[in-house]
Amino acid sequence: MKARLQVMKFGGTSVGDASCIARTAQIVAQAARENGCVAVVSAMSGVTNRLVEAAKNAQAGNNGGAAAVVDALRGQHEAALTSLIQREEERARIRQKMEDVLAEGRRLCEGTALLRELTPRTLDAISSLGERLSAPLVAAAVRELGVPSESIEATELIVTDAFHGGAEPQMKLTREKSQARLRPLLEKGFVPVVTGFIGASKDGQLTTLGRGGSDYSATILGAAMDADEVIIWTDVDGVLTADPRLVPEARTIPVISYREAAELAYFGAKVLHPKTLNPVVQAAIPVWIRNSFAPQRPGTKITPEGRSIGGGVKALTAIRDVTLISVGGPGIVGLPDVVGRTFSTTAEVRANVLLISQSSSQNDICFIVSTADTQRTVEALRKEFAQDLAYQTVEHITVDSNIAIVAVVGENMRGIPGIAGRTFNALGRENVNIIAIAQGSSECNISFVIEEKAVKTALLATHREFGLNSSAN
């Protein structure tokens, strides 16, 4: 068996059509000639969204709409199959696999339409179809290049809890199953092509790891297989210092730490699913982000300690789809339980709180949630504080969605004084008004809340202030 093992994940755009799949297969085949290689693939881009839509159609009783989506998927995958695979018997074999998956999809939609009920379990089953269609195509494309390959459904490998729509892996069982199933293939020189995004509970029910979860699948398998590295192949050059659409001089960061990458992922930089790094931290397996459309570029390497040079700041990120909720009024001064009640309420409705800030006068507790969570959070708060609002001990619960969070991230900011000062001076010079500020005690990021329309100015000013466009960072 080859000495090194790489787990490579290809996202939706990297398998978006026949030519992308061909490019992906080249990368896999080349890697497999040098190393052991496990590929993990997403659904073709846009497919999962359409499957979720089909499920919603079915739930509304519109089975016709759902069936139309399934038919369109057949067309799309058939077109890729025809252009990728030369021999008709081979095509027929893959087509049969795809037809089985599509037939299952149709039955799931019919059942849903009949009952007009979409359980989280059924939604998982329907949304998983995209990966189950793409993996056989990619494996076939790899075989076309003369490298033996087999597609495998991750329900055979990844064991999770039963939390549908966001399942968590059980690593010990996952390791046992993955080793037992994949080792023999690797020993024979095969490339297993595994469906991303999905797993199965102990009793065999299909689960999903949450939207965008294929990254997570790759690191779960990387850890389970004791891989030497995990490579996330995507459509950007790596982790950038800022969003290049807003900051044209943004550049790729060559080396970044787990902490920094996780912080960026958490604060909305779209390159990684936020849980991606959890499985590999313990074994310190490096994770690369690379561009499958430009494989000659080196990408970003994510390592336990990153690289400790530069002025402390590594990257900037902004989250826009967020809303500031504020609970307060003079009457809350001295009310001991307002903070507690506020956040037990957000926890009850499972709102993801991204930032909290309380002024020392205690007049206001401000916090930020995703805009999608706002309505249910505010309703729950109004209920919780109904009495207090009536007696005006709590004067207001207000909502502002024209805001954004900007986070300045860098592990080496710790202990370097003046970063906050420089940030806010730079913003002041550009007249950016700061609504709230938070710094975690980890000192891995400083985040601040500004008006949404000031995001670009704020990013440009801070990017320049910390010289992020120069390669010294």
Nearer to Mg ion, 45 or 112 (CB): 45
Nearer to ligand ASP, 214 or 374 (CB): 214
Number of residues that bind ligand ASP (CB under 6 A): 12
The least distance separating ligand ASP from the CB of residue 211, rounded to whole angstroms, comes to: 4
Member of 7, 8, 25, 43 binding ligand ASP (CB under 6 A): 43
Site membership for ligand ASP, residue 213 (CB under 6 A): yes
Nearer to Mg ion, 11 or 306 (CB): 11
The least distance separating ligand ASP from the CB of residue 124, rounded to whole angstroms, comes to: 11
Member of 16, 192, 196, 238 binding ligand ASP (CB under 6 A): 196
Site membership for ligand ASP, residue 199 (CB under 6 A): no
Member of 10, 190, 197, 367 binding ligand ASP (CB under 6 A): 197
Site membership for ligand ASP, residue 12 (CB under 6 A): yes
Site string for ligand ASP, 16-35 (x = CB under 6 A): --------------------
Site membership for ligand ASP, residue 212 (CB under 6 A): yes
Member of 212, 274, 279, 329 binding Mg ion (CB under 5 A): 212
Q: State how far the Cα of 116 lies from the Cα of 40, in Å rounded to an integer.
A: 34
Site membership for ligand ASP, residue 190 (CB under 6 A): no
Q: Which of these ranges, 70-78, 204-212, 309-317, 444-452, lies near Mg ion under the rule CB under 5 A?
A: 204-212
Nearer to Mg ion, 270 or 382 (CB): 270
- The answer to whether the CB of 243 falls within 8 A of the CB of 250 is yes
Site membership for Mg ion, residue 274 (CB under 5 A): no
**Sheet of strand 287-291: strand arrangement:** 149-152, 191-195, 36-41, 5-10, 229-234, 287-291, 300-303, 255-257
Site string for ligand ASP, 119-138 (x = CB under 6 A): -----------x--------
The least distance separating ligand ASP from the CB of residue 10, rounded to whole angstroms, comes to: 10
Q: In sequence order, what are the residues at sequence separation of 6 or more whose Cβ sits closer than 8 angstroms to the Cβ of residue 410?
A: 260, 310, 312, 313, 314, 315, 419, 444, 445
> Which of the listed partners (ligand ASP, Mg ion, none) does 329 bind, with a CB threshold of 5 to 8 Å by partner kind?
none
The least distance separating Mg ion from the CB of residue 281, rounded to whole angstroms, comes to: 22
Site string for Mg ion, 1-30 (x = CB under 5 A): ----------xx------------------
Number of residues that bind Mg ion (CB under 5 A): 3
Site membership for Mg ion, residue 192 (CB under 5 A): no
**Chain positions contacting ligand ASP, by CB under 6 A:** 11-12, 42-43, 48, 130, 196-197, 211-214
**Chain positions contacting Mg ion, by CB under 5 A:** 11-12, 212
